[in-house]
Amino acid sequence: MNDRKMTELAGLLDDEFIVRAAGTVGSKEKSMKKGSVLKTALIAAALCLALAGTVFAVTAAVRQAKIYAFDTPQEAADAAKAASDSVGGEDVAPGMWHITEHGRKIADFEEPEPIGLEKRLTQYDLVLAHRFGSTEDGWNEMYTARKDTSYGLIRDFQQDTRYVADSLAGVEFLWPENVPALDFSRLESEYRAVAGNETFFERLDRNGAEMVVLSGTYRGEGDAIFSVELSYYPGRKARDQYMVSEDLTEYTTADGVVVAIDEDVTVSGRQAFWVYFDCGELSFSVYGNELPAGELHTLLDSFGLSALL
Amino acid sequence: MEDREIVSLFLERDERAVAELEAKYGGLCRRVAGNILRSQEDAEEVTSDAVFAVWRTVPSQVPKSLLAYTLRIARNKAITRLREVTRDKRSGEQDLTEAEPSVPDNAADSLEAAETARLINDFLHTRPEREQIMFTRRYFMGDEPGEIAKDLGVSPLRVSDTLYKLKQRLRQYLRERDVIV
């Protein structure tokens, strides 16, 4: 099924899906309220007081996006809107995707199959390169392919380059030299990479690089399994998140970086966790199941996250 | 203003309803129309048309969700507008109207469309909320993975991968139920 077919089928969706999805749209499209600098400052101050009284907020470095946790979607939406209005409709996004109130069960983290690239090439209009790597290369398979994303009267394209390996070490060398990087050595030595799931991904469009991502999935002792992802979005400014969660905590790494950790329980009773860190053009996350808190903290300490600040 | 109050204004034929609807959902309509048409001017026009379409139709149809009802109208009007524009510009060259939802030709087609709709909605109900949102934002609202990712606090790659897997699962789900798409 191509995207046009999916677009056709999406016209059949129930109202509830449309309403829920619309509720997650970033604030930039909403109407802006203009106010004087003084008024804006007062609104911001009032917001800070309100936040301090009712929610948990992760403290963060100046460029780092903040995460605010609320008890109800309405509280999160109100705070996101107030924050958005106070800065002219920019800089915040209601990231309310983790809404426990809806009673949705969180799926278990399933060990993924190795990522095969060949079948994915059918998504593209033009394959520019497709090769299999050797042990010396460190990666298993790669492609560069292009798809026409023109729509209506606008001509555009999307060019993706993707490498797959059996460890992040096999694709780490592709990370742009001028962009801060992380130290994955402890991850690689203490945990077992789920083969064929360590990837480098780069997307270009008519404006140049749109994003670059390194990601991998690892197994630890027992049932511990998690994914690590580092993303770079040129030109992006990380936006604050407003989410509904009862279990958001903050952790300060050995090199002084504050990250947010959210925890919950999956449908089968497994411990689930998400680690968020967003700063400027860079985003880092870890999520998975059954990794004890102490181990997670040690792992976070090892990445050298301060390089991203 | 609450949706039910706006609907009441429509039912009472109070013209303030138009302004209230525009203020509340005009931005979302412009976004969806803009994603389809890639033209701010056309998106504005479609949004105005959609708001007045609600004005014309609400007395005979009371929407369960004013937001979904309005967005559907805006989306359909944008797709129709896209068809008109592309037909004018590229007549006979390439059909860019595939994005338009099929209009059933007869009763049998209507039944088939209703059954397909039921299956798609049933399928989506089995998926986690995040996947539902990604699917709807991408294929109903026309948002790019990058935009969806920013709002959901995940990476665009994760959005793209999730949508890819969802498409495979949906195709499989429909095939198992003898629906060929």
Higher pLDDT: A86 or A182? It is: A182
Q: Does B80 reside within a domain?
A: yes
Please tell me if residue A104 touches chain B, with a CB cutoff of 8 Å: yes
**Which residues pair with residue A132 across a beta bridge?**
A141
How many Cβ atoms are within 10 Å of A30's Cβ, its own excluded? 18
> Are B48 and B120 part of one and the same domain?
no
The count of domains in chain A is 1
Distance of CA B170 to the CA centre of its chain: 18
| Contact status of A215 with chain B (Cβ, < 8 Å) | yes
Q: What is the mean pLDDT of chain A?
A: 78
Greater confidence (A212 vs A112) lies with A212
Of B132, B156, B181, the CB nearest to A20: B132
Quote the CA–CA distance of A110 and A37 in Å, as a whole number: 50
**Those residues with Cβ within 8 angstroms of residue B41's Cβ, 6 or more apart along the chain or in another chain:** none
CA distance linking residue B75 with residue B34, whole number of Å: 10
Cβ within 8 Å, pair A24-B137: yes
**Coil, strand or helix: which one is B64?**
coil
- Counting the structural domains of chain B, the total is 2
The alpha-carbon gap from B89 to the nearest alpha carbon of chain A, in Å, equals 9
Residue B21 has pLDDT above 90, yes or no: yes
Q: Is the dihedral of CA A116, A119, A123, A129 positive or negative?
A: positive
Lowest-pLDDT range, A56-60, A107-111, B151-155, B168-172? A56-60
Distance CA A190, CA A141 (A): 25
CA angle B58, A27, B135 (to 5 degrees): 70
Nearest to residue A108, comparing CAs of A280, A288, A304, A308?
A: A288
Chain-chain contact of B64 with A120 (C-beta, under 8 angstroms): no
In-domain check, residue A153 = no
CB contacts under 8 A, B 63-122 vs A, are 64-65, 67-69, 71-72, 75-76, 82, 85-86, 89, 96, 98-102, 113, 116-117, 120-121
Query: What are the tens digits of pLDDT across the range B90-122?
Result: 554 433 333 333 344 455 555 667 788 888 988
3-state DSSP call for residue B149?
Answer: helix
For residues B92 and B56, membership in a common domain is answered with: yes
Chain B: nearest CA to A99, how far in angstroms? 9
Residue A34 belongs to some domain of the structure: yes
Of B27, B86, B151, the CB nearest to A95: B151
Question: Is A299 a member of any domain?
Answer: yes
User: Which tokens in the block code for residue A104?
Assistant: 């949705």
* Host domain of residue B134: 102-176
| Stronger pLDDT, A257 or A24, i.e. the higher one | A257
Residue A278 is part of which domain span? 1-106+165-309
pLDDT in tens, A150-194: 655 567 788 989 999 999 999 999 999 999 999 999 999 999 999
Any domain includes B181: no
Beta bridge partners of A248: A262
Residue B140 sits in a domain whose CATH number is 1.10.10.10
pLDDT, one tens digit per residue, over B128-158 is 777 889 999 999 999 888 778 767 766 677 7
The answer as to whether A129 is a domain residue is no
Contact pairs from chain A to chain B, CB under 8 Å:
170
> Which residues from chain A sit within 8 angstroms of residue B121, using beta carbons?
12-14, 17
Among B98, B127, B156, residue at a domain's last position: B98
Q: CA A305 to CA A307: how far, in whole Å?
A: 5
From residue B106, give the alpha-carbon distance in Å to each of B76, B83, B103, B112. 20, 22, 9, 10
Cβ contacts (< 8 Å) between A93 and chain B: which residues? 150-151
Separation CA A50–CA A162 (nearest Å): 45
Number of H helices, E strands in chain B: 8, 0
pTM for the full predicted model: 0.62
Nearest by CB: A8 against B27, B102, B154: B102
pLDDT band of residue B78 (cuts 50, 70, 90) is: very high
Number of residues that make up chain A: 309
